[in-house]
Amino acid sequence: MGKIGPTEIILILLVVVLLFGAKKLPDMARSLGKSARILKSEAKAMKSDDTKSAAPADPPQPDATQDQAAPRTIQAAPGDVTSSRPVTEPTDSTKR
């Protein structure tokens, strides 16, 4: 009781193929892989944000070159250039 043998695994795989069809399985696996890459990159970004905020930093000095920085690009997943798009960042009207 509680052990899954090769017969049960084959039966589960057969049920999955019958439910979803053999044509949809590669698309589902590809979608699952993209989701995993996005989750991993977001977790890494959150971890790096936490380490940056933990270190005491001096407030940034206003600089004329900061206003003319290149637009940033958001990517859905590392290496996925089909969904990347340029983003215009809001300007800070309080600094003058």
Q: Tell me: the pLDDT tens digits for 34-45?
A: 999 999 999 999
Does residue 8 lie in a domain region? no
| CA 8 – CA 14 distance, rounded (Å) | 10
For the chain, the C-alpha Rg in angstroms (whole number) is 23
Domain hosting 41: range is: 22-51
Does residue 31 lie in a domain region? yes
The alpha helices in 21-83, defined as continuous H runs, are: 24-54
Does residue 46 lie in a domain region? yes
pTM: 0.39
Give the chain's domain count.
Answer: 1
- CA-CA distances (angstroms) from residue 68 to 28, 38, 74, 80, 89? 42, 29, 18, 27, 11
Does residue 2 lie in a domain region? no
HSE-up of residue 3 (Cα within 13 Å, Cβ side):
4
Q: Is the pLDDT of residue 81 over 70?
A: no
Does residue 15 lie in a domain region? no
Does residue 67 lie in a domain region? no
